[in-house]
Amino acid sequence: MAQDYYALLGVSRDASAEELKKAYRKAARRLHPDVNDAPDAAEQFKEVSLAYEVLADPDKRAVYDRGGDPLSSGGMGGGFGQGGFNFDDIMDAFFGQGGASRGPKSRVQRGSDALLRVVVTLPEAAFGVTRELKVDTAIVCLLCNGSGASEGSEPVTCGTCHGHGEVQSVQRSLLGDIRTARPCPTCRGFGTIIPDPCSECGGDGRVRARRTISVNIPGGVDDGNRIQLAGEGEVGTGGGPAGDLYVEVRVQRHEVFTRQGDQLACQIAVPMTAAALGTRIEIPTLESERPDLGDVPATVPIDIPSGTQSGETVTVRDQGVQRLRGSGRGDLTVQVIVETPNDLDDRQRELLAELASLREEERPEPVVGHSHRHGVFGRIRDAFK
């Protein structure tokens, strides 16, 4: 054997058919005379093509592996360019598909997906809401019912490609005639033309229109979540099936509550005396802003233990956001900020001075390194009004 076909293709002797094909495609792209102007490129291309012709044929490969000549007249016969080699492999190497005809494409195509954004309040996101939305999309043309042709008319076979949807050209090379195909410029690959297009859609089979759809936004949806509505997007050409509509939810910032997942948080300010003695207060619930939910509590009680320090938190179970997946609700975390009075009258100042004397706090020693964090949550200033 004058040539090592495996070495030419850069594969092992036990290479699979798929590995051989990948190796040949890579070599053909690199060595084809149309893209490689080296003096010996054509000869190298011929050699790798011959190697692939032999190794891609199981019978020829078996003869070659036994040391025989698979191209001899007494062996497998044929030889390069004499019927055993398929030029579709060359086309496959360059265009990803052989020289075989693909046929005309259908005028009926699936439509594109569409995206719409909707803004909701935090209570609406927490418990769900139904919205009526205006949508501008392509719909089926009612005049031609999606066909694209005027009444009494219909598509006719293209005279350029004769219904094939593509035209072929022949290019001569060192290896012989190579056929290539491209979409027909007259019918744009459809194989037919519409001589009398619909006056409403111009032959596209669809028109743009505004319509109203009802969107159910589930409780627990968060900012940036998308709701998929199958078949509510753009209708395809030729009256093809519609794509999907995606509704992206944007949640407005709330004045009191902040949200993290299914958890809610807020901040309340309490007087120094209430924090010292302990108290119970009522804060408004998130449901109080949704009268459409029916008879729901407008407030929820919060117990402030005596001795509560500024920055400490109280957790109220099941007062957070409804879980999007699963049942139940998250919790509500309330951060307490203790307020020091700054508008004392003489009697109040006298009483505080007496308290400081009883507690021996007239000249308190500072606690180095101790601080109170006030957090970043919204404040309910009217809790004690």
Question: pLDDT digit string (tens) for 270-302?
Answer: 999 999 999 999 999 998 898 888 888 889 999
How many C-alpha atoms does 36 have within 13 Å on its Cβ side?
15
Q: How confident is the model at residue 174 (pLDDT cuts 50, 70, 90)?
A: low
Distance CA 123, CA 286 (A): 6
Which residues, including other chains, have CB under 8 Å from residue 156's CB and lie 6 or more apart?
Answer: 192, 193, 195
pLDDT, tens digit (0-9, with 9 covering 90-100), for 23-79? 888 888 787 766 777 888 778 888 888 888 888 888 888 888 887 777 764 444 444
Asked if pLDDT for residue 214 goes beyond 60, the answer is yes
How far apart, in Å, do the first and last CA atoms of the chain sit? 102
Distance CA 51, CA 69 (A): 12
pTM (predicted TM-score): 0.63
Q: How confident is the model at residue 367 (pLDDT cuts 50, 70, 90)?
A: low
